[in-house]
Amino acid sequence: MPPDLVIFDVDGTIHDTFAWWHPVISKGVAEFASQTGLSLPRPEEEFANQVVGMSDAGVWAPFLPDAEKHRWPELRALVLPMEVAEISAGRDYLFPGMRELLLHLRAIGVGTALASNCRSEYMAGLCAGQDLGSLTDRQFCLDSPGVECKTDMLRLAVAVTGAKRPVMIGDRENDQIAAREADMPFYWRVNSRCSLSGVSGHWQGDPGGLLGLLGLPGISGAPGEAGSRPTS
């Protein structure tokens, strides 16, 4: 049966973080180097994009030398306001069709939730600056009560909504692991950072494709496009 709750990862799944992350982290690293006197190279774009979707030290420590990696909270404190300012400046950073998809899921009675490895300040920026607070029913991050990891977010989403047929949509291995641990189907958003060779449950990013995978009606009222089944 089709799902009654769709849980989305955010960065790289429905939000195009890659459209702004590299210039923001590059500016932040340069300012941090100026303030601390550290010699920090400008991050390469591919290297910078590899941390998207990770959590805490996994996001910030890679930009610091080994002897200074423990200072990642300082770098985060400097760059986080830059991130929030960027996603709150009025530009739409959601991938094409995502607003329509989220509104359609609500219209057909399917619940939606966000599960992100970010912290509350960034999540608040997404909810206000990208309208995700009004476009989704529930939002969970690492600062949510009772949450220590993404698996907790998925279990909490199910508990508070009473969902019987939840599914998870994500673009990183940690999303797939969380879905497996929470015992729910998982669908991959196709991306260039994770090898999906031989993996089923691919989603190319178009609303019709995802609706077809989930067995839900298309936005036009017609059935969604057919696709492969999910992995767990």
Nearest to 229 by CA among 208, 202, 191: 202
Give the model confidence (pLDDT) of 58-94 as tens digits.
Answer: 999 999 999 999 999 999 999 999 999 999 999 999 9
Asked if CATH classification 3.40.50.1000 holds for the domain at 5-16+94-214, the reply, yes or no, is yes
Give the model confidence (pLDDT) of 193-229 as tens digits.
Answer: 766 555 567 888 999 999 999 999 999 754 444 333 3
Nearest to 116 by CA among 7, 207, 4, 28: 7
Give the model confidence (pLDDT) of 159-196 as tens digits.
Answer: 999 999 999 999 999 999 999 999 999 999 987 676 65
Contact yes or no for 125/81 (Cβ under 8 A): no
Q: Cα separation of 214 and 227, whole Å?
A: 9
Determine phi and psi for 63, rounding to 5 degrees. Answer: -90, 0
Q: Cα separation of 86 and 103, whole Å?
A: 24
Name the amino acid, one letter, at 216.
L
Beta strand spans in 17-136 (E): 111-115
